[in-house]
Structure 1
């Protein structure tokens, strides 16, 4: 790799190595990839398996417009080539793959991505074994596809990110086990967490790549399961849970805004 590529590699690693939890790690990784690689859109998702991470995983995104996210959730999520078993097999084998490698036709690229100016995508996976899986999706504009040079740097970056990501995934898994009394699915938990932080239903939908109606359904279930009558009560209970003696510190991580 060239000196500039090593600089990008170190820049990303320095950005994420002091993250205090998985959420902050994901958010820092989004910002670092935007800064050092200039990607137009990024999603960093996690799940118990790769198929779960790319198909319904929780995480953060940056660089995508609300219109893009709404269109994706309403019409294209089920057609996303990276959410197929074929893509999961290729990702598991190679670690980093491009849209051209996983897509069996050009419909998704031509009818959905290109109208938004996106000309190529790549996916990267970090498998933490029992701790879970981290998936990173990246989109480019103004170039035909993710460059061969970028792919080489991403493969090297993946190896160096792995121990940091696995540590965060393992810690997150422990935290999840400790809150089993809430009896929420991972998606319901994520919606409840964001609602407790004050995000609107639309902002939550944008963050999680789901529709507003789906947010409402998950939030209703979370309120029922936790015995809370309102979002205000849910936020108050969340703050009590986050105080010293709970699973984590009360400092909430920053939101990643769509642009």
Structure 2
């Protein structure tokens, strides 16, 4: 070891020789600007008190720092279940798009295939182009006829491994972009690893709350509606957040009020606050 740079012990103190900052490796995948984006996303979510806030903070940070026009943040016990029917939030999709997707295209989405789930578990982040949809006629039709009609030409999917608590899936789109930037993919791959502990904690808290909600007889969707209503969101805002109709929200909210014994949204907010802190 070079004597000029090695620490020298003087009593209980460690004395080091001053040196210039280490340069980044020539092949470094993330330049400083991308580390700033990475840190900004982390800052946005690290203090989220619960899963709902965590999901929304992550979604908004990806919109702001990556310019994504459409983002989904979903979670479930497996990668496949998170993608297909997971709980979570979405932004940037019209109801018309979602209706057509559910009615005609969902089973031809390349991200629904077991091959995609395996790649996501292995790599953490996979783009639509990497899934090679052109090799399957039905997947190719989904991309060329449906996505292209909405100015979507590529997409990035990221999964966060939360261990026994399940998986979180993040899907993001930049409309009009022919290929997802390699730098975005590199940053999201780092995010996939860095967000794992925080995601695990939030999912664990959600599981405990869900168990209590189940004891009250609330379904997962009813609990989501109850939580959002208790936070002060209107029926219209809840409908947009959950991508359901206002009539559906009213039906869920009516069941929630009946099951919790609340007679108004104000009472529900008070009782939900007590319930959430138990």
Q: Output the TM-score relative to the length of structure 1.
A: 0.80
Alpha-carbon spacing, 1:18–1:89, altered in 2? closer, same or farther (3 Å): same
Structure with the greater relative contact order (CA < 8 A, sep ≥ 6): 1 or 2? 1
Q: Deviations over 1:147-198 (max 9, x none)?
A: 2221111111211111111111111111112222222332343245446655
Superposition pairs for residues 1-259 of structure 1, below 5 Å?
1-102=30-131, 103=133, 104=136, 105-194=139-228, 197-200=232-235, 204=238, 206-209=240-243, 212=245, 216=248, 220=251, 223-224=254-255, 227=258, 233=263, 235-236=265-266, 238-243=268-273, 245-248=274-277
TM-align CA RMSD: 2.9
Structure 1 residue 125: Cα displacement: 0.6
- Which ranges of structure 1 fall in alignment gaps of 5 or more residues? 250-259
Alpha-carbon spacing, 1:18–1:86, altered in 2? closer, same or farther (3 Å): same
- Which ranges of structure 2 fall in alignment gaps of 5 or more residues? 1-29
| Alpha-carbon contact 2:227-2:272 (below 8 Å) kept | no
| Alpha-carbon contact 2:48-2:54 (below 8 Å) kept | yes
Which SS does the other structure have where 1:184 is aligned?
A: coil
User: Which one has the largest radius of gyration?
Assistant: 2
Q: Deviations over 1:6-36 (max 9, x none)?
A: 1111111111111111111111111111111
Distance 1:6 1:83 in 2: 31
Distance 1:146 1:65 in 2: 22
Structure 1 residue 248: Cα displacement: 4.1
| Alpha-carbon contact 1:58-1:190 (below 8 Å) kept | no
Which SS does the other structure have where 1:189 is aligned?
A: helix
Distance 2:82 2:31 in 1: 32
Q: Output the TM-score relative to the length of structure 2.
A: 0.75
| Alpha-carbon contact 1:125-1:135 (below 8 Å) kept | yes
